[in-house]
Structure 1
């Protein structure tokens, strides 16, 4: 009986380098739709039923950070949407602010608008969300906590959890319309 040796190079599969999931600052930058186990440091997690007891704009500032799927920002700062966006009634929508690495102009626009909506109060209750199993709400909550807001909450289940409670969603436009 003959034995054939197969070179190890033919058996071993080459290691494929995976892109990093987080940037050096600790924000998720890839595979945003994945389970998220815990809230960022210094951020509370709020259940959909608890969030549903609050009145957006009175009890808390609800902030949706889902990207503008298929849409984009024009050179003049206006958002061109590919399709309507539905969110928690009374929420403010800040497309693209949940990404780990923000496009130019997005970060300052987000910071300025949140400061204006909170009247500069760093203790205002902020509820950040996207969809269930989405790191964008996590990133945005972490970003606002790092900016000095002390009452930041993450609604991990996002609009999916809101809908699961049989609560309505309503069509909204990007907050402020025009970016600087």
Structure 2
């Protein structure tokens, strides 16, 4: 009976471990359950993110920019919805995809350089929405580039609002 119970426990281990970190970057679908860690570092809880925000740590939002609807005639006006994010954050849209064109990778690197003042060890929080692989991808890239102060907030704007935090309109950072 003890062996049977031990075997059941071993079978349950993968389910308890959650989503494993992939070797590379994650592609579509981007909205799906994420791992608890990025490059072995645990993601921030909502309370940890709030404390870092209160301490003045820079926050980087990597949620993509809304694209003009496909098939919309050129003579039809289209207005992008305002992007709402954690107050004071820097929005680096389109920098969390699995594969980044060099221009978007440079945009992310330059944005990280700006917010850290060139100090790769400075704390910075990368986020988007809950269960969004884009922030995971961007955090993994940043850590791989040597930004050792990167923290990942997997709950993003959704968890921020769950804490009672408000969101504000944020424009994309200049390229």
Give TM class, smaller chain.
0.7 to 0.9
State the partner residue of 1:62: 59
Give the corresponding residue for 1:83: 81
| Mapped partners of 2:141, 2:79: distance in 1 | 25
Does structure 1 retain, via aligned residues, the 8 Å contact 2:33–2:132? yes
Alignment of 1:13-92 (within 5 A): 26-55=24-53, 59-70=56-67, 82-92=80-90
**Structure with greater helix percent:** 2
Provide the aligned C-alpha RMSD in A: 2.2
Contact 1:43 1:142 in 2 (8 A): no
Offset of residue 69 of structure 1: 1.9
TM-score by length of 1: 0.74
Structure 1 residue runs without a partner (length 5+): 1-23, 73-79
Matched positions, count: 146
TM-score calculated relative to the size of structure 2:
0.76
Question: After TM superposition, which residue ranges in structure 1, 4 or more long, deviate above 3 angstroms?
Answer: none
Contact 2:92-2:111 within 8 A present in 1 as well:
no
Counterparts of 2:28 and 2:147, CA distance in 1? 25
Deviation at 1:48, TM superposition (A): 1.1
Q: Which has the larger radius of gyration?
A: 1
Structure 2 spans left out of the alignment, 5+ residues? 1-21, 70-77
More displaced 10-residue stretch of structure 1: 42-51 or 148-157: 42-51
Alignment partners' CA distance in 2, 1:43 and 1:111: 20
CA distance in 2, matches of 1:81, 1:52: 32
